[in-house]
């Protein structure tokens, strides 16, 4: 059955960006717009998961969710399910039976495999977002405001009867880069999570390649390679051919010479490759399309910014580049939350607020997380040695800093986001970091605090005695 993919509507916004550079004075002044009025007619509704775990081998159709109730539901009204989305990415076809929504096992299997880029039979927790309306007795439809519109299910995928994979722990890249030579293939690094990768520098043009397990290299067995499903497949990710003896090869079209990272998941029977990006920059209307560096944190690049609505919204946007130039640039992908090489401007729909931007150039994804609150916390805050009290800071849209004036006691403190320890800052005042930064010592007194997160390791906290 054909899968239907969900494309998020794109509305324009502007970013007032917290640039990770030595100059923190270029802060744009935000503009505001009126929030849409709420509809008094919207009713609350509760939808729950149909079960905790489903096995796709057990049935051709599986129940996903059930409608339980709606407050003040009119007499004769019924629930109408309108859309089911898997993991905020793939829209699924579905059927309904009164208050139950179901999907075909085969379609769900395919969507899960594509999302995780793996054919391995395993159990994973998948997120389903359910959209619905209340249909009144007269046929009129009323949007349903869910108390819970997302359900989580543990889904065990079907057995694809993959070719037997030996317990090998070495894999190699074989292709034009190393002259198609099993005598000297390029060894891939074990990533420790079942995947293997190598980084190679390629010239512009076409690069043909396959992957070889250690046994194929030792035996010089060309039939033992992991090969493409079709000859010259130029997809940047996908699955290996079940029949390795067909002799198909992958082909990467290298538009710009540079480093590329190739990754395989032998048990998942999958591969992927992408430009290897060692640095990343933000460029957009908010900073005059100059280049503001993002910080490398693990596999991601991160930065912080304020988003607001401009008058000429349809012209605004931003991109991510691999250097302070346009040689390698990422724009909007075909789906919400995705980026693509050479894509158009990335525009986001979220309301005016302060956000954390996270970009992954390998998975070609980005996300923005709202930071609704910054606060001081520690033994110096209200003398609370248990670190259980927050002094909230307020975001100043004129200066683009989080600020507040408080009386402190002798002790230590840190700054954290959203009253939670998932994201917190410490360390040196001119180089604040969220990567286990040390506590900040302070003497008793009244102080004004001004904090700009910027990117990690370049956050700035100004403390002024009052």
pLDDT of residue 128: 95
The answer to whether residue 109 scores a pLDDT higher than 50 is yes
Domain check: are 142 and 234 in the same one? no
Q: Is residue 224 part of a domain?
A: yes
If one counts the domains in the chain, the total is 4
Question: Which range (76-80, 248-252, 383-387) has the least confidence?
Answer: 76-80
SS3 297: strand
SS3 222: helix
Going by DSSP bridges, is the β-strand pair 141-148/43-49 parallel, antiparallel, or unpaired? parallel
**Residue where a domain terminates, one of 370, 403, 429:** 370
The answer to whether residue 78 scores a pLDDT higher than 90 is no
pLDDT of residue 21: 44
Going by DSSP bridges, is the β-strand pair 150-156/53-55 parallel, antiparallel, or unpaired? parallel
pLDDT of residue 36: 36
Domain check: are 98 and 188 in the same one? no
- How far is Cα 333 from Cα 433, in angstroms, rounded to an integer? 30
pLDDT of residue 70: 78
Q: Is residue 332 part of a domain?
A: yes
Domain check: are 263 and 283 in the same one? no
SS3 1: coil
Q: Is residue 69 part of a domain?
A: yes
Domain check: are 142 and 58 in the same one? yes
Domain check: are 214 and 316 in the same one? no
pLDDT of residue 22: 43
Domain limits for position 333: 4-20+278-370
Q: Is residue 36 part of a domain?
A: no
pTM beyond cutoff 0.85: no
DSSP 338: B
Mean per-residue pLDDT for 396-404?
88
Beta strands in 20-89 (DSSP E): 43-49, 53-55, 61-70, 78-86
Mean per-residue pLDDT for 222-238?
92
**Residue where a domain terminates, one of 156, 190, 208:** 156
List, in sequence order, every residue forming a beta bridge with 360; answer none if it has no partner. 365
Q: Is residue 29 part of a domain?
A: no
Domain check: are 201 and 147 in the same one? no
- How far is Cα 4 from Cα 148, in angstroms, rounded to an integer? 23
Quick check: 15 and 285 in contact, CB under 8 A? yes
Query: H-helix or E-strand containing 219?
Result: helix 214-219
Of the candidates 16, 21, 27, the one whose C-alpha atom is nearest the C-alpha of residue 399 is 27
CA distances from 434 to 122, 181, 208, 374 (A): 34, 46, 42, 13
Q: What is the dihedral of CA 234, 239, 244, 247, to 10 degrees?
A: -10
CATH number for 387:
2.60.40
Domain check: are 149 and 187 in the same one? no
On the CB side of 239, how many CA atoms lie within 13 Å of its CA?
18
Question: Which range (2-11, 224-233, 319-328, 349-358) has the least confidence?
Answer: 2-11
Domain check: are 63 and 146 in the same one? yes
Quick check: 340 and 330 in contact, CB under 8 A? yes
Q: Is residue 203 part of a domain?
A: yes
Domain check: are 152 and 51 in the same one? yes
- In the chain, the percentage of residues whose pLDDT exceeds 70 is 86
SS3 246: helix
CA angle 452, 454, 456 (to 5 degrees): 120
Quick check: 366 and 346 in contact, CB under 8 A? yes
Domain check: are 131 and 150 in the same one? yes
Under the banding of pLDDT at 50, 70 and 90, the label for residue 5 is very low
**Residue where a domain terminates, one of 346, 370, 394:** 370
Q: Is residue 163 part of a domain?
A: no
- How far is Cα 335 from Cα 357, in angstroms, rounded to an integer? 17
Q: How confident is the model over 27-49, as pLDDT tens digits?
A: 333 333 333 333 344 467 788 89
CATH number for 247:
2.60.40.3620
Of the candidates 253, 167, 182, 192, the one whose C-alpha atom is nearest the C-alpha of residue 212 is 182
Of the candidates 451, 449, 423, the one whose C-alpha atom is nearest the C-alpha of residue 437 is 423
Domain check: are 258 and 326 in the same one? no
Quick check: 72 and 34 in contact, CB under 8 A? no
The answer to whether residue 18 scores a pLDDT higher than 70 is no
Contacts of 89 (CB under 8 A, 6+ apart): 5, 6, 115, 335, 337
Contacts of 64 (CB under 8 A, 6+ apart): 49, 50, 84, 94, 101, 102, 103, 128, 130, 151, 153
Q: How confident is the model over 326-358, as pLDDT tens digits?
A: 988 999 988 888 898 888 888 876 777 788 889
- Burial of residue 15 (CB within 10 Å: 0-12, 13-18, 19+) is buried
The answer to whether residue 448 scores a pLDDT higher than 60 is yes
pLDDT of residue 311: 55
Q: Is residue 31 part of a domain?
A: no
Domain check: are 140 and 73 in the same one? yes
pLDDT of residue 166: 63
């Amino acid at each position: 059955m054909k899968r239907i993919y969900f494309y998020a509507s794109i509305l324009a916004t502007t970013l007032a960006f917290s640039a990770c550079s030595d100059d923190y004075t270029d802060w744009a002044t935000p503009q505001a717009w009126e929030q849409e009025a709420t509809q008094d007619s919207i009713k609350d509704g509760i939808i729950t998961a149909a079960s905790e775990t489903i096995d796709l081998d057990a049935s051709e159709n599986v129940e996903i969710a059930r409608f339980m109730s709606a407050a003040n539901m009119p007499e004769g009204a019924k629930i109408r399910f309108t859309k089911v989305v898997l993991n905020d990415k793939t829209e699924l076809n579905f059927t309904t039976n009164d208050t139950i929504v179901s999907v075909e096992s085969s379609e769900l299997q395919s969507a899960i495999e594509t999302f995780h880029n793996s054919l391995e039979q395993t159990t994973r927790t998948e997120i389903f977002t359910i959209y619905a309306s209340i249909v009144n007795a007269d046929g009129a439809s009323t949007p349903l405001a869910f108390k819970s519109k997302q359900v989580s299910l543990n889904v065990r995928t079907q057995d694809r009867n993959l070719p037997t994979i030996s317990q090998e722990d070495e894999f190699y890249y074989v292709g034009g880069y190393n002259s198609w030579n099993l005598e000297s293939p390029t060894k891939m690094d074990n990533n420790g999570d079942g995947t293997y990768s190598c980084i190679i520098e390629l010239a512009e043009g076409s690069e043909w390649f396959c992957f070889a397990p250690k046994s194929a290299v030792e035996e010089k067995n060309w039939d033992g390679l992991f090969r493409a499903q079709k000859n010259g497949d130029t997809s940047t990710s996908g699955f290996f051919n079940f029949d390795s003896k067909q002799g198909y090869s992958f082909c990467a079209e290298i538009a710009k010479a540079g480093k590329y990272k190739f990754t395989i998941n032998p048990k998942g029977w999958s591969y992927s490759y992408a430009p290897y990006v060692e640095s990343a920059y933000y460029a957009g209307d908010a900073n005059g399309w100059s280049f503001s560096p993002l910080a490398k944190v693990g596999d991601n690049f991160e930065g912080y910014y304020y988003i607001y609505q401009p008058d000429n919204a349809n012209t605004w946007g931003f991109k991510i580049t691999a250097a302070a130039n346009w040689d390698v640039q990422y724009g909007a992908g075909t789906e919400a939350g995705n980026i693509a090489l050479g894509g158009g401007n990335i525009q986001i729909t979220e309301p005016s607020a302060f956000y954390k931007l996270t970009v992954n150039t390998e998975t070609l994804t980005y996300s923005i997380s709202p930071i609704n609150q910054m606060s001081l916390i520690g033994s110096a805050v209200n003398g609370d040695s248990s670190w259980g009290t927050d002094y909230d800071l307020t975001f100043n849209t004129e200066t683009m800093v989080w600020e507040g004036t408080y009386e402190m006691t002798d002790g230590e403190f840190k700054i954290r986001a959203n009253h939670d320890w998932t994201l917190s800052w410490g360390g040196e005042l001119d180089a604040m970091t969220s990567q286990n930064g040390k506590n900040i010592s302070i003497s008793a007194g009244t102080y004004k605090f001004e904090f700009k997160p910027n990117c990690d390791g370049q956050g700035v906290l100004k403390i002024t005695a009052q």
